[in-house]
Amino acid sequence: MKNRLVALLLAGLMTASLASCVATGNNGGGTEGDQTRPPVSTNDPTQLTDVDQLVYVIAKNAELLPDINTTLGALSVERMTELHRVKLSDQWSVVEYNGTQYYVATAALTADDILGKLFTPYAEALTMYASGTINVRTYASADNSFSTVIAELQLNTPVKVLSKGLSGSREWSKVQFTDAEGQTKEGFVRFDLLSATEEQPPIVVDYSKYFTTLTSPQIMYVYTPENPGGNINLRSAPTTEGSTWAGSLKDGTQVEVIATGKDDYASWCKIRVARPQTDPDDPQFYDEYYVHTGGLTPIKGGQASSLDDILTLYRGFEAINKTYYVSNEATQGLFVRSAPDFTADNVITGFLPKTALKVVAQGSANDVFCYVVEFEFNAKTTYGFVSARYVTPDSNGTPVKTLESLLATYGGFTALPAPATYVATAKVNCSFSVEEWSTSLSLAAGDQVTVVAQGTYSGASLYILEIDGNYYFAATANLVEATTPA
């Protein structure tokens, strides 16, 4: 069983690495960087929400598990298999297949109408034109991990629009077109990239709403770990569907990131690159482009070579020296990343539950509390970031909640400036879990307790209490701060 889990983990890591190499259109020999869905968080598989959805398998092969804890009796289903989803969490879905319910990884599925089954058909095909260089895809999705580019249409190329509708957050159209060999084919095109008339200037899409401008530029470096010394593509817009290739930058090149955002399934950075100066007294001019987030790293060479690198780059982190373990809640392993960005394609490796971790620093980044771990990778000392949520001080992998992990998990809570003593004015029920409330212990009127944080969850106003080294949730109504005698 352990070997099976190791194989699944390594296969997932290899898939993420390989998918990040996919490129489309005129790529000039570079890579697009992160074109895969980011690894999802490993939540408790029992925390599932009831849904009623038609979904499609988008993984090359997906395993349907009859039980969450074993692969015995698992079925393998092919891409584009239709399934009925009845329960959902970030990590797992419960689906019905041939009258039987199975567990399957949520990342292997999509509820988007990628086949256009719910699109509105035109009674008579509508002739429209490519508004620029645009891609035709096998499915109504820009996710390169399963939706292949089957043709690239140039400005004013005519197509017949057969139907249109929503797939995900975008409006797509099913079109009929003539390929370079004169064959009539069908595929999917983003509807906003088609024009009703010829000889129109390319449609300018406003992408600013998808981006957040940084308060000051961030120095980053081009990083192509799958192709050392290779290139990353520059784009005129944050999309591979309607943008033009604007050149490439070599591995290790320094750039300044001025904004970050997301379009469709990919995370992007807006960067500026300094133009060469013939005279140092001349003004410095810059060119602006878009690149995939997965092609950049804040550390030249991709990985920090020392703890000092980490503490210099991430000033919110502090050095510690602890031995922790991967929590049993990380059922598919704990991903180690080259930067504290848990949405990018920056996975270095992964560890199975109960694996000992040498933790050398801790801090918060992007509203996530995380640890820096030191480990051997490719015969050298390496540093990476892991989510504190799936790390425990217990060597058996048993989750032990810390205040830091609770604050990282539940963004609605804030630590008090200092722990405070409160008094119960009536009976107070305390729960170890906030998702599934059950009374773990009760306070009687007059009992004193230490409050360490406060916040809200699902509309309820709550305190986090520290009692005998453990943390509990309690309603604020019957707790008042103790007064100090004069």
For the stretch 98-118, pLDDT in tens is 999 999 988 889 999 999 999
Q: Which residue has the higher pLDDT, 92 or 40?
A: 92
pLDDT category of residue 247 using cuts at 50, 70 and 90: confident
- The first and second tokens of residue 193, run together, are 């990239």
pLDDT in tens, 24-48: 333 333 333 333 333 333 345 557 8
> pLDDT at position 126, please?
92
Helix, strand, or coil here: 458? coil
d(CA 116, CA 137): 12
pTM: 0.44
Most confident of 133-142, 211-220, 359-368: 133-142
> pLDDT at position 175, please?
95
Q: Which residue has the higher pLDDT, 264 or 365?
A: 365
- Mean pLDDT for 226-249 is 79
Q: Which helix (H) or strand (E) holds 15?
A: helix 2-19
Long-range contacts of 395-402 (CB under 8 A, 24+ apart): 395/325, 395/354, 395/356, 396/325, 396/328, 396/354, 397/325, 397/326, 397/327, 397/328, 397/353, 397/354, 398/327, 398/328, 399/327, 399/328, 399/329, 401/432, 401/470, 401/471, 402/471
- Whether the per-residue pLDDT at 407 is higher than 90: the answer is no
Instruction: Identify residue 339 by its one-letter amino acid code.
Output: A
- Whether the per-residue pLDDT at 158 is higher than 70: the answer is yes
> pLDDT at position 408, please?
67
- Whether the per-residue pLDDT at 285 is higher than 60: the answer is yes
> pLDDT at position 20, please?
35
Spatial contact of 5 and 292, defined as CB atoms under 8 Å apart: no
- pLDDT over 90, % of the chain: 28
User: Which residue spans within 328-467 are E strands per DSSP?
Assistant: 334-337, 347-351, 356-365, 368-377, 380-387, 391-392, 413-424, 428-431, 439-443, 448-457, 460-467
User: Which residue spans within 98-224 are E strands per DSSP?
Assistant: 100-105, 109-110, 120-130, 134-137, 149-153, 158-167, 170-178, 184-190, 194-195, 211-222
Instruction: Identify residue 77 by its one-letter amino acid code.
Output: V
pLDDT in tens, 207-217: 788 888 888 88
pLDDT in tens, 94-103: 999 999 999 9
- pLDDT over 70, % of the chain: 82
Its sign, for the CA torsion 234, 236, 238, 241, is: negative
pLDDT category of residue 204 using cuts at 50, 70 and 90: low
Set out the domains of the chain in order of their start, with CATH numbers: 2-110 (2.30.30.40), 120-195 (2.30.30.40), 307-406 (2.30.30.170), 410-481 (2.30.30.40)
- Mean pLDDT for 293-302 is 72
> pLDDT at position 380, please?
82
> pLDDT at position 226, please?
62
- Mean pLDDT for 152-161 is 90
> pLDDT at position 435, please?
63
- Mean pLDDT for 423-428 is 92
Residue 231 burial (10 A CB sphere; 0-12, 13-18, 19+): buried
- Mean pLDDT for 194-218 is 78
Measuring CA to CA, which residue among 41, 89, 75 is closest to residue 331?
41
Q: 116-120, 160-164, 232-236, 410-414 — which is least confidently predicted?
A: 410-414
- Whether the per-residue pLDDT at 10 is higher than 60: the answer is no
- Whether the per-residue pLDDT at 290 is higher than 80: the answer is yes
* Helices marked H in 33-120: none
- Whether the per-residue pLDDT at 466 is higher than 70: the answer is yes
> pLDDT at position 219, please?
84
Spatial contact of 155 and 193, defined as CB atoms under 8 Å apart: no
Helix, strand, or coil here: 301? coil
- Whether the per-residue pLDDT at 315 is higher than 70: the answer is no
pLDDT in tens, 330-348: 888 899 887 777 766 678 8
Instruction: Identify residue 30 by its one-letter amino acid code.
Output: G
d(CA 455, CA 410): 9
Whole-number average pLDDT of the chain: 80
- Whether the per-residue pLDDT at 378 is higher than 90: the answer is no
